[in-house]
Amino acid sequence: MAIYTRTGDKGKTSLFGGARVLKSDTRVEAYGTIDELNSVIGLVVANMIKHGAVVDELERIQHDLFSIGAYLANPQAKPVIFLDKRVKKFEEVIDAQTKEMSALKNFILPGGSVSGAALHQARTVARRAERGLVELLQREPIDQGVIKYINRLSDLLFSTARFINHKEKKRETIWSQTK
Over the chain, what is the mean pLDDT?
92
Poorest-pLDDT segment among 1-5, 35-39, 130-134, 166-170: 1-5
For residue 113, the tally of other CB atoms under 10 A from its CB is 17
Domain-located, residue 42: yes
Helix (H) or strand (E) holding 14: strand 12-14
Q: Which of 43-47, 72-76, 89-93, 166-170 has the highest mean pLDDT?
A: 89-93
Check pLDDT > 90 for residue 17: no
Q: How many structural domains does the chain have?
A: 1
Domain-located, residue 20: no
Check pLDDT > 90 for residue 56: yes
Domain-located, residue 56: yes
Domain-located, residue 106: yes
pLDDT at 179: 57
Question: Which residues, other chains included, contact 18 with Cβ-Cβ below 8 Å and sequence gap of 6+?
Answer: none
Domain-located, residue 7: no
Check pLDDT > 90 for residue 50: no
Domain-located, residue 173: no
Domain-located, residue 137: yes
Question: Of the candidates 121, 115, 124, 127, which has an alpha carbon nearest to the alpha carbon of residue 163?
Answer: 115
Domain residues for 111?
A: 25-167
Give mean pLDDT, residues 14-30: 82
- Percent pLDDT > 70 in the chain is 99
Domain-located, residue 13: no
Check pLDDT > 60 for residue 22: yes
pLDDT in tens, 34-43: 999 999 999 9
What distance lies between CA 107 and its chain's CA centroid? 21
Helix (H) or strand (E) holding 101: none
Give mean pLDDT, residues 76-83: 91
pLDDT at 121: 97
CATH number for the domain harbouring residue 40: 1.20.1200.10
